[in-house]
Amino acid sequence: MKRISKERFGQIFSAWGGHRILVLGDVMLDEYWWGNVSRISPEAPVPVVEIVKESVKLGGAANVALNVKALGDDPILVGVVGEDRNGERMMSALNQAQIKGDGIFLDNPRMTTTKTRVIAHNQQVVRADRENTDEISEELTGRIMRFVGERMPDISGIIISDYGKGMITSVLLSRLIQLCRQNQTFVAVDPKDTHFMNYREVSLITPNHHEAGFVYGKRIRNEDILKEVGWGLLDKLKVEALLITRGEKGMSLFEKDRTLTHFPTRAREVYDVTGAGDTVISAFTCAVAAEANFREATLISNHAAGLVVADIGTAQAGKEELIKDLEDFINSNG
């Protein structure tokens, strides 16, 4: 799909915004230490970074919620944190972002997943992770499902953001997917390979080309293998659509009606792909909530991703910025 009409663009964005999107998955705290390097350590052949400032951003499923909010919809975030300092920092960051924290559950003695990145001269020097990837308990699963069930009548879609940190389990997935099917609710999944075959019968799954090839058992080296992997996974999972993100080669959308559509990348300059997948699945779900079809939603999410990879760290595409980018695209394509 290479273009969208001005009329159709207007229809979608007149219905855009104000929808409640439930985001369920592994929430993370992204911590950044910014500094400069002027010498090598005498203790080991590593750079000495003189830290000049620190910052914190929402990561994982929390960044997905932030993307949904930036795009004009109302995220309902569901996740798990530890009863620790970083859990408190997470709740403070959510409060600052005006994202409600009533869907965040405490799980003691789990530690809050935190990724600390040291950045020097706009380049990442090292990353340190603090996390506990044990699966959540059956009791906590029940509490989460009750929370989700109470909100089902009011939501326009669900995003499952699986980073393999213990929040998403096979039991939770089974119960959640069944609930979505009963309520005919759109559900999109940003997958983790360990749970891949548990995502059967969701609306959309968005693996990157490395994940898709690994799960299928074939590295995607060319268009023929891409098609084999795409159609093979779509048939195995019985999903409505499979969107494979391919880096500089753009995206490929496989739909159950046997339609395959390629979308060239919209990125002008790529500085950091951190969180790009969060932007893709957020924009896609917001577009579907505004009654875009899957090809239109992919076009929109492709533009959104092209905007965020130009920033360092997790970033979000704002609604107005996205509209402007799409308007420029429509005008340049007649």
Question: What residue type is assigned to position 47 of the chain?
Answer: P
Q: What pLDDT does residue 268 have?
A: 54
Q: Which of the residues 30, 73, 272, 278 is marked catalytic?
A: 278
- Neighbouring-strand partners of residue 117: 32, 127
CATH of the domain at 276: 3.40.1190.20
Q: What pLDDT does residue 9 have?
A: 87
Mean pLDDT of 84-92: 96
Instruction: Assess if residue 120 is contained within a domain.
Output: yes
Return the ∠ at Cα 322 (arms to 261 and 249), rounded to 5°: 35
Q: What phi and psi, each to the nearest 5 degrees, are found at residue 321? A: -65, -40
Checking if the pLDDT of 313 tops 50, the result is no
Instruction: Assess if residue 299 is contained within a domain.
Output: yes
Instruction: Assess if residue 302 is contained within a domain.
Output: yes
Mean pLDDT of 265-290: 77
Q: Which domain, by its residues, includes 296?
A: 6-332
Instruction: Assess if residue 66 is contained within a domain.
Output: yes
Checking if the pLDDT of 316 tops 90, the result is no
Mean pLDDT of the chain: 91
233-242, 248-257, 304-313: range with lowest mean pLDDT:
304-313
325 catalytic? Reply is no
- pLDDT category at 192 given cuts 50, 70, 90 is confident
Checking if the pLDDT of 272 tops 50, the result is no
Q: What pLDDT does residue 48 have?
A: 96
- Neighbouring-strand partners of residue 58: 29
Instruction: Assess if residue 207 is contained within a domain.
Output: yes
Q: What pLDDT does residue 271 have?
A: 44
Instruction: Assess if residue 129 is contained within a domain.
Output: yes
Q: What pLDDT does residue 129 have?
A: 96
Q: What pLDDT does residue 315 have?
A: 61
Helix 223-237 vs helix 209-216: angle between axes, to the nearest 10 degrees? 70
- pLDDT category at 2 given cuts 50, 70, 90 is low
Checking if the pLDDT of 314 tops 50, the result is no
Q: What phi and psi, each to the nearest 5 degrees, are found at residue 6? A: -60, -35
More confidently predicted of 9 and 267? 9
Q: What pLDDT does residue 276 have?
A: 78
Count of domains observed in the chain: 1
- pLDDT tens, position by position, 94-143: 999 999 999 999 998 899 999 999 999 988 999 999 999 999 999 999 99
Instruction: Assess if residue 1 is contained within a domain.
Output: no
List strands edge to edge, sheet with 104-106: 104-106, 74-81, 20-25, 157-161, 187-190, 204-205, 241-245, 251-255, 260-263
- pLDDT tens, position by position, 135-172: 999 999 999 999 999 999 999 999 999 999 999 999 99
